[in-house]
Amino acid sequence: MLRRTTVAAAILAAGALLLSACTGGTSPSPSSTDTGTPDPNASVAVRLVLEPSNLDIRETAGAALDQLLVDNVYQGLVSRTPDQEIVDTLASSHEVSADGLTYTFTVREGVSFHDGTELTPADVVWSLQQVKDNASYRDSARLANVSSIVADGQNVVLTLSAPDSTLLWNLTGRAGLVLKEGDAIDRKTEANGTGPFVLEDWKQGDSITLKRNDAYWGEKAKVAEVVLDYIPDTQAALNGALANELDVVTGFDATLTDQIEANGDFTVVLGKSTDKGTLAMNSTSGPLADKRVRQAIRQAIDKESIVEALGAGQTQYGPIPELDPGYEDLEKTAPFDPDAAKKLLAEAGAEDLTLTLTIPAFYGTTVSQILVSNLDDVGITLKVNPVEFPTWINDVYVNKDYELSFVLHTEARDFENWANPDYYFTYDNPKVQELYAQSVAATDADTAADDLKQAAKIVAEDQAADWLYNGASVVAIGSGVSGFPTVNTNERMNLAELAKSQG
């Protein structure tokens, strides 16, 4: 859900809900059900949870915008597959120099923006330079090591001041999106990209419709339109599905799996994700400044019970999820052991501790109830303070005014937040910052991943926070629908392969 460290995140629109229990099976992404002959004139209705506050992909935070616009409407020189592989997109090819300081992209020819204007290398240079030069733009800092961006014929050449192992990945996200140079549209309500879909209509508070871009440079979308219905309440989404008003339900509360699968019209699919259910601990003052107290909290929490209650995902004991470089099972840093937790609290003189958990209200009560019970077992009274999301942004994210907080971080490869002492996690370890900088400066992927692995272990050993679970993407897919992404759907949702059979 949360992306980066700038204050612009104060206008963050929440991008994912807490995933609930599920009994469905695992499937690759996108879904591959044999559905018969695709109908090129089909309209597919997809339930999403939270609507973006506006459409300005440059300045407005929130995964709701990435789900909607990245890959579908806006594209970059490179993009990523659901399985996190980097692929050429608006670049037909790219090369990286041996010293890691020069990136040369050959811009694909025959590409047009949705308004019919031809894409040129000048558009690419302008787009990247705009992001680099405007600190208010999302992910501007991700181009910090780029010293020059120039066009050379059909090529765009990025010269770096220092190697940056994250650059290609960064270019698959907002930092790398290519917009029309000097475009005069109102980006808060309009979009003019190069993707397989055109923004057709936005009924604020209700739905957004994407129409197939029939002038698309690549393989055309397989459906005529996709209607993204914003339905926060899962029961309402279930009712819509059972009434044949929806073809796909994302962010599904899978405790309702039996109900939605009962008549055979839907199948609930679980996919992997980089969602991290993060219990942040403000260690700047009070009892949480004591590492023993933080470790006691971690060892008091039964993560297996959380995963069982959610019915999806897996346990996680460190800041890096399994899909990301640098992952390691760090259970040994804080194994479930209530007796050990009690001893740590006694050593810290914190046997009768009362703490407050600030949590966005839309997450429901499943996780917070387990936390209250687990911590009560070791003598900690946990008061739960559910708040509206803007309040959470202001109090926790911006002002760091909290003791414990829970939120679902969905973005891939976001370890940098643990290397940033100004982030709301309040974690400050120079060694971790050094290792992260080394990882960024590495010129090969294995070295970069190893540096991240070392840094992540230190974060976990410092008991900087707790990671309650690594979530799963839970999607209910209607019969006749294929090609819907099922991996990391809370972060990105490429609809290019989506199809619906005739009949």
User: Using an 8 Å Cβ cutoff, are 279 and 375 in contact?
Assistant: no
What pLDDT is stored for residue 488 in this prediction? 86
Q: What is the 3-state secondary structure (H, E, C) of 234-291?
A: HHHHHHHHHCCCCCEECCCCHHHHHHHHCCCCEEEEEEEEEEEEEEEECCCCHHHHCH
Q: How far is CA 60 from the centre of its chain?
A: 15
What pLDDT is stored for residue 184 in this prediction? 94
User: Using an 8 Å Cβ cutoff, are 21 and 428 in contact?
Assistant: no
CB count within 10 Å of CB 205 equals 7
CB count within 10 Å of CB 289 equals 13
User: Using an 8 Å Cβ cutoff, are 59 and 241 in contact?
Assistant: no
φ, ψ for residue 175, nearest 5 deg: -60, -25
Is residue 96 classed exposed, middle or buried when 0-12, 13-18 and 19+ CB atoms within 10 A define those classes? middle
Q: What is the 3-state secondary structure (H, E, C) of 55-77?
A: CCCCCCCCHHHHHHHECCCECEC
What pLDDT is stored for residue 35 in this prediction? 55
Torsion of CA 368, 373, 376, 377, to 10 degrees: -140
276 forms beta bridges with 409, 470
User: Using an 8 Å Cβ cutoff, are 174 and 56 in contact?
Assistant: no
What pLDDT is stored for residue 16 in this prediction? 34
Q: Which amino acid is at 494?
A: N
User: Using an 8 Å Cβ cutoff, are 375 and 300 in contact?
Assistant: yes
Closest-CA residue to 237 (of 50, 492, 459, 23): 50
Instruction: Report the chain's terminal Cα–Cα distance, integer Å.
Output: 37
pLDDT in tens, the chain (503 residues): 343 333 233 333 333 333 222 223 333 445 544 457 999 999 999 999 889 999 999 999 888 999 999 999 999 999 998 778 999 999 999 999 999 999 999 999 999 999 999 999 999 999 999 999 999 998 999 999 999 999 999 999 999 999 999 999 999 999 999 999 999 999 999 999 999 999 999 999 999 999 999 999 999 999 999 999 999 888 999 999 999 999 999 988 877 889 999 999 999 999 889 999 999 999 999 999 999 999 999 999 999 999 999 888 899 999 999 999 999 999 999 999 999 999 999 999 998 899 999 999 888 899 999 999 999 999 999 999 999 988 999 999 999 999 999 999 988 899 999 999 999 999 999 999 999 999 999 988 999 999 999 999 999 999 999 999 999 889 999 999 999 999 988 888 999 999 999 86
User: Using an 8 Å Cβ cutoff, are 149 and 128 in contact?
Assistant: yes
DSSP characters for 184-231?
-S-TTT----SSSEEEEEEETTTEEEEEE-TT-SSSPPSSSEEEEEE-
**What whole-number distance in Å separates Cα of residue 434 and Cα of residue 257?**
46
Report pTM: 0.82
What pLDDT is stored for residue 3 in this prediction? 36
**What whole-number distance in Å separates Cα of residue 79 and Cα of residue 87?**
5
